[in-house]
Amino acid sequence: MTPKAQSVTATGDPDDFQPPRAFRADTFPDGHTRLVVSVPQEELRATHLALLASLSGKLGLRYVQLTDRLTGQLPAPIGRVAMDVRPDRLVAALEARPELVWADGRHQLWVRGSLGETVILDEMGLLHCAPDDPSFRDALDALAIPEGRPKMMDNRDYVKVTFLAEADAQEASLWEELKLLKWK
């Protein structure tokens, strides 16, 4: 499957960087914590689904559209939300649209559990889990993803994001199936 993004040179040529298989823990000045997870493209789907399985209760979903493939980067992101989504329903909807979810960089997908824990899949294929919680660490441990601080896609100078034509229809059908409503 095509990667959501790839590291490139200043002229746009691939630079041979491969996303490492690792996670790092970040702590912000206000005390908030998160884990940032990087995996190769072929492991992104399984890693994302394992982290989503760590969330509790019914889920809140925020789809943040950053780009329209036909018109380019949006002046401001467009958010769409759904609440009280059953985990099995969300997973089925995501798995029915693999190109959009795990290979196209037009969006971020934020999923929040009933305790406020959150998993974000960003436009570069990085996963952000907040807070730094044992349930997320257990999921990463089960996948044998090591903790470390290697350079990840968010440390690259130039990143080229992928936009797939086949994801256009998948995007519209995801909004419809999960009843995602525009939110400011």
Q: Where are the domains of the chain?
A: 5-183
pTM of the model as a whole: 0.95
Q: Residue 182: its pLDDT value, please?
A: 95
CA distance 39 to 23: 9
Q: What beta strand segments (E) does the chain contain?
A: 5-7, 22-27, 33-38, 59-68, 72-85, 107-112, 118-121, 127-130, 159-161, 181-183
| 29-54: average pLDDT | 98
78 pLDDT tier (thresholds 50, 70, 90): very high
Q: Residue 71: its pLDDT value, please?
A: 84
Kindly report, residue by residue over 95-134, the tens digit of the pLDDT: 999 999 999 999 999 999 999 999 999 999 999 999 999 9
Kindly report, residue by residue over 9-40, the tens digit of the pLDDT: 999 999 999 999 999 999 999 999 999 999 99
| 44-53: average pLDDT | 99
Q: Is the pLDDT confidence value at 184 over 80?
A: no
73 pLDDT tier (thresholds 50, 70, 90): confident
